[in-house]
Amino acid sequence: MTHAQTKDFASRDADIFLTAAYLFPSDNIAADDYGITLHQDGMLFGRLGADFFLIPKLSMGVYMNVGSIKISGMGPFVGNSPSVTMMEFGGSLKGRFIIAHGAVAIKAGVNIGYRMFTSDLKYADKVNAFAIGPDVEVQFATGSVVAPHLEIGFLSQPAGGNNDYTSITFPPIVYIGGGCSLGL
């Protein structure tokens, strides 16, 4: 069985993954032109993507993140906490390490993408941003092409905003998640 598990991860040319994740709350979202700091309440979001192995220990991939967050701290700009929809597209570069006699694969790397926020609130609408963040995914062999996984990572936004109002940036915010990967 050990040999089959090793072959399971090592023989994959690609992984298609689906993850449900939770982004922890943060008080560090800066609306720079107004000199205010916003709070986001935490967010459930989905991750969908694919990693293509260039060599057995290195992949290049694509991903998409989608979620809805509540923000507060905008003072005179907003009454209640508005809902803001996030959509992000990007690429990744990850290393893969197979351990525990092939029962576990660890993929660690970085995601770099383009993030968009839309909202009914004009100050939080049409936000375009540069997104970057590391992540670590731990896959568990099941003896089939489907492998459950756990993931921990960070979302950050070093540059971005909407042209009409302000730049909006934030330092790394941690997320955790779980899902499954389909090995091809």
Q: Could you give the percent of the chain with pLDDT greater than 90?
A: 67
- The pLDDT value recorded for residue 125 is 80
pLDDT of 153 higher than 70: yes
Assign domain 2-183 to a CATH class.
Answer: mainly beta
Whether pLDDT at 23 is above 50:
yes
Cβ(69)–Cβ(82) below 8 Å: no
Q: DSSP 3-state assignment of 112?
A: strand
Indicate the domain borders of the chain. 2-183
For residue 20, the model assigns a pLDDT of 98
pLDDT of residue 5: 46
Sole residue written with tokens 């991903």: 63
pTM: 0.88
Span 41-94, pLDDT tens digits: 899 999 999 999 999 999 999 999 999 988 776 555 555 566 789 999 999 999
pLDDT band at 128 (very low <50, low <70, confident <90, very high): very high
Question: Residue 103: what are its φ and ψ, rounded to 5°?
Answer: -80, -20
